[in-house]
Amino acid sequence: MSPRERAFTSLQRHFEFLTINDIEDIIEISRIETFKKRQKIHTPGHRLTDFYFLISGFVRGFILDKNDVERSVSFRDTGDFFGDPRSIAFGQPSNLNFEVIEDAEVLIFPIPKSQLVSADNLRIARLYRVGLEKAVWAYMEHNQILLANKPQERYEILMKLRPMIFQRVSNKHIATYLGITPNSLSRIMKRNLEAKKESPPEVTS
């Protein structure tokens, strides 16, 4: 299957309201790029003029704090949109990095062209809106987790919302996402594992 065919299939699977012609129009104005593990899709310092759809792979969003320490702020999976909503909405330079965790294939939407096509097609306009909403939610989700006072609570929220992250992302990156140290995360995971071992087995009738 060619990259174009994979992009078509992915959009069709995740957004059933799009017609075949809609998807062809979207792909026509976009470009498809592949990225290897640890490669950067976007680096900060300039206005973000593209919007991203993850055909396959896994991507981490992070910022650098005042000490140049990486702080993870989002994790995006196959079928997810990602970008910097603040940069897109207000034309400000982005402070986000997007790094590939698993080899990725990305459909890249140029924002000006996407807006022009959306003006004449309500379904594509809906896709554009959904993409922005999903990108915003990625950061709202992170803020929701950080609002929990105790590290244990943050861990439990993330485990409930995105359990697959613990199989696909290093503890170092998960720890910065939770606002704790890797050592703290290791202790929490160890306590949870010990608690599961001590729990009595469920009785089935």
pLDDT tens digits, 61-115: 999 988 899 999 999 999 999 988 888 778 889 999 999 999 999 999 998 898 8
Whether the predicted model's global pTM rises above the 0.85 cut: yes
Proportion of the chain above pLDDT 90, given as a percent: 63
**Closest of 64, 58, 68 to residue 170, by C-alpha:** 58
pLDDT given for residue 34 in this prediction: 97
Token pair of 72, please?
A: 């993870």
Greater confidence (9 vs 51) lies with: 9
Whether the pLDDT of residue 142 is over 60: the answer is yes
Whether the pLDDT of residue 169 is over 70: the answer is yes
Whether the pLDDT of residue 204 is over 90: the answer is no
Distance of CA 83 to the CA centre of its chain: 8
Domain locations in the chain as residue ranges: 3-138, 148-205
pLDDT given for residue 103 in this prediction: 97
Determine contact, residues 36/47, Cβ cutoff 8 Å.
no
Token pair of 62, please?
A: 């992070």
Distance of CA 199 to the CA centre of its chain: 34
The CATH homologous superfamily of the domain defined by 3-138? Jelly Rolls (2.60.120.10)
Query: Which amino acid makes up residue 3?
Result: P
Question: How much is the mean pLDDT over the chain?
Answer: 90
pLDDT tens digits, 17-65: 999 999 999 999 999 999 999 999 998 888 888 989 999 999 999 999 8
